[in-house]
Amino acid sequence: MEEKKGNGGRETNGWKRRLGLSLLVYSFVPLCTIEFVAFLPLSAGQAVTFGAVYIGSGELACLAAVALLGKPFIEGVKRRIKGFFLCGRETAPPRHIGKARHYTGIAMLMASFVPYYIVLGLFIFSPPKPSGLRGLLFLLLAGEGLFWAGLLLLGGEFWARLKKLFEWPGREGPGEVAAAALSGPTPPNP
């Protein structure tokens, strides 16, 4: 199967795009269906454990989708979502985020993992009662909301840095790439 090229020679219809889109769609499924965990024939402890793994799988799927789809696609999705909520008004071009916004976004992103450990601790030290199951599931949803809000707050520059985390540097090792970058451009031969 031949892959289409576009966007400066990058693949636009390859396996990475299909897998990334599938993972992005799946990342919303746990958010929309977590309430049904309360109706499964599971004990309270099993339901909370299943709910934590289920919501966590959505977060991991979102991170993998971001890495596979890249910044241009994610920025396009973000632009369309903003356009929908702004009712067709023109959205402002993305701008550089400040230090306070960056640290707030990072704090929200890191805090999104805290509810999982709270639920795990409650489960280990005091098994939840069936009546408290719904509260624990909503605590997990709050963590998911913090995750998404933190990612949106961090902006496009963070997406680019996150994608670089998953890029292979090539045949040269990281030290050789850094040395070539520090040496500057090579002068042209006369």
pLDDT of 162-178, one tens digit each?
Answer: 777 777 776 655 555 55
What is the reported pLDDT for 26?
A: 92
| Biggest CA-to-CA distance, the chain | 81
Q: Note the pTM of the prediction, 2 decimals.
A: 0.48
**Cβ–Cβ under 8 Å, residues 127 and 136:** no
Which value, to the nearest 10 degrees, does the dihedral of the CA atoms of residues 39, 117, 144, 166 take?
A: -120
The pLDDT tens digits for 19-33 are 988 998 998 898 888
Domain ranges across the chain: 11-165
| Residue 14 pLDDT level (bands cut at 50, 70, 90) | confident
> Mean pLDDT, the chain, as a whole number?
76
Select from 90, 106, 95, 96 the least CA-distant residue to 149. 106
Give the tens place of pLDDT for each residue, 108-153.
988 988 988 888 888 788 876 767 777 877 888 888 888 888 888 8
Contact 62, 27 (CB under 8 A): yes
Helix (H, G, I), strand (E, B) or coil at 8: coil
